[in-house]
Amino acid sequence: MDFELSDEQRLLRDTVRDFARNEVAPAAAELDETKAFPYELVKKLGELGLMGIPFPTEYGGGGADTLSYALAVEELARIDSSVAITMAAHTSLGTMPIYMWGDDAQREEWLPQLCSGERLAAFGLTEPDAGSDAGNTRTRAALDGGEWVIEGAKQFITNSGTDISGCVTITARTGDDEISNIIVPNGTPGYEIGEAYRKMGWNASDTRPLSFDGCRVPEANLLGPRGQGFKQFLQILDGGRIGVAAMGLGLAQGALDEAVAYAKERRAFGQPISRFQTIQAKIADIATEIEAARLLTYRAAVLKDRGENFSLTAAQAKLKTGRLAVRAAEEAVQIHGGYGLIEEYPVCRFYRDAKILTIGEGTDEVQQMVIARALGL
């Protein structure tokens, strides 16, 4: 097996790393404190081609592979998870269904403005009674005079309520035994976007509830064949887990970076605390776990790029990196001591941002179920 990145992948990684350090890092603490959406950073991400990184150049995308996408997400999450999830949710969740199942007209209408970052796309699956149990979708859509009339609600939807949000793709029951996928543009009458949630972490990302009350969209907004929405969204979730795994990997690496730097500077009993065996053991364990998680995450991306079955590996990567992110952030806070609870230190934000990685894009328990089923249990 070849474990080396290509020249293009290394260049992309280094470009995103520089951007994250020079542009994202100086703004991250204030964005987190004010809970302000990072419009300027998203604009710059669009200019760098990162908002459309895995899509064909004919639509304004970067034409890059899944591993390149994962590298970009990892480097952003290494500095700030709010910026990373904004890019990842827009790309692998919001835009990907339109690319994978959209017809020529839908692709031409949406992909150029989404790939450029001019507009954001959202992914509407979760409901009050349908998250892990995605088949329990209650939102309904009925045809009337050449239009879908949508009734229902979604929750925990990322990128839906910003000034540059363009559309959301939603699951809806289009019959008693069928779920379909429909594009709903922002600004459509009957489509109401709720107030942003007050969250423990990811404070600078946009997360809201949505409601649909007599919301009418053209029949042509059906995405792919009628009745295939549930299957489509499961495929999107498989791919999305690679992005979330890359986020967990990046956050863990960022927490380690901060812990190592602090341990070298902080002195106790006449020497840097980095010289104490207990501190070294914490750092050594996390560093080793990160390398193992990195290989697992990259393997999932490579399998997807090869067109092979990657569902099991993506679930394993997501499970591994989410738990690792929580542990790495906790250990980084512990190494910082009392300063780990002070907001001016990034590890405090990392600690708050980490927990969602064991919940979003399928809980740890769902990942375990996916893995067990793949093993024939």
CA 138 from chain centre, in angstroms, equals 24
pLDDT at position 2 over 90 = no
CA–CA separation, 5 and 14 (whole Å) = 12
Note the pLDDT of residue 133.
75
- DSSP annotation of 136 reads G
What mean pLDDT is predicted for residues 35-63? Answer: 96
- Do residues 186 and 238 share a domain? no
Domain range for 35: 7-115
Q: So what's the pLDDT on residue 1?
A: 65
- CA-CA distance, 157 to 128, in Å (whole number)? 12
Active site residue 4: no
- Residue 338 is predicted with a pLDDT of 96
Confidence of residue 129 (pLDDT cuts 50, 70, 90): confident
Of the candidates 128, 169, 130, the one whose C-alpha atom is nearest the C-alpha of residue 150 is 169
Q: What is the pLDDT of residue 136?
A: 85
Mean pLDDT of the chain: 96
Is residue 2 included in any domain, yes or no?
A: no
The C-alpha angle with vertex 197 and arms to 129 and 170, in degrees rounded to 5, equals: 45
CB atoms within 10 A of CB 193: 19
In a domain, 1, yes or no: no
**Residue 135's pLDDT is what?**
78
148 and 176 share a domain? yes
- Position 17 confidence tier, pLDDT thresholds 50, 70, 90: very high
Give the DSSP letter of residue 4.
Answer: P
Task: Tell me how far CA of residue 205 lies from CA of 157, 223, 321, in angstroms.
Answer: 10, 26, 20
330-354 confidence digits (pLDDT tens):
999 999 999 999 999 999 999 999 9
Is-above-0.75 flag for pTM? yes
- Span 263-298, pLDDT tens digits: 999 999 999 999 999 999 999 999 999 999 999 999
| Nearest alpha carbon to residue 245 among 148, 313, 338 | 313
Question: How many degrees, rounded to 5, is the angle at CA 225 between CA 219 and CA 231?
Answer: 125
Q: Are residues 52 and 29 in the same domain?
A: yes
Closest Cα partner for 324 from 294, 363, 280? Answer: 294
Residue 232's closest CA among 171, 185, 176? 171
Q: Looking at residue 354, which CATH number applies to its domain?
A: 1.20.140.10
Question: Any residues with CB less than 8 A from the CB of 101 and at least 6 apart, and which?
Answer: 181, 223, 224, 228, 232
Domain end point (choices 225, 251, 266): 225
Task: Give the DSSP H or E segment for 310.
Answer: none
Helix (H) or strand (E) holding 32: helix 25-34
- End position of a domain, from candidates 225, 259, 277: 225
Q: Which of 30, 127, 361, 365 is catalytic?
A: 361
DSSP E strands: which ranges in 219-284? 267-268, 271-272
Give residue 130's pLDDT band: very low, low, confident or very high (50, 70, 90).
confident
Segment 173-193 mean pLDDT? 96
Residues 94 and 165 in one domain: no
Q: Which residues contact 246 (CB under 8 A, 6 or more apart)?
A: 69, 70, 71, 73, 74, 77, 88, 297, 321
For residue 82, give the nearest of 12, 28, 46, 131 by alpha carbon: 28
- Residue 13 pLDDT: 98
252 and 357: one domain?
A: yes
Between strands 120-124 and 165-175, the pairing is parallel
What total of structural domains would you count in the chain? 3
- What 3-state DSSP class applies to 180? strand
